[in-house]
Amino acid sequence: MKRLIIFLCSIFSISATSCKESSSKGVVKVVSPKMVQTLLIENSIQLLDVRTPKEFKEGHIDGAQNIDWFSTTFDSDIKNLDKTKPVILYCKSGGRSAKSGKKLLRAGFTEIYDLEGGITRWKKAGFEIKF
Looking at the annotation, which residues are catalytic? 91
Instruction: In whole angstroms, give the CA distance from residue 58 to residue 33.
Output: 19
Question: Is residue 27 classed as helix, strand or coil in its secondary structure?
Answer: strand
Contacts for 101 with CB less than 8 Å, ≥ 6 apart: 28, 89, 112, 114
Per DSSP, the chain holds a count of helices (H) and strands (E) of 6, 5
Instruction: In whole angstroms, give the CA distance from residue 24 to residue 15.
Output: 16
* Residue 21 bridge partners (DSSP): none
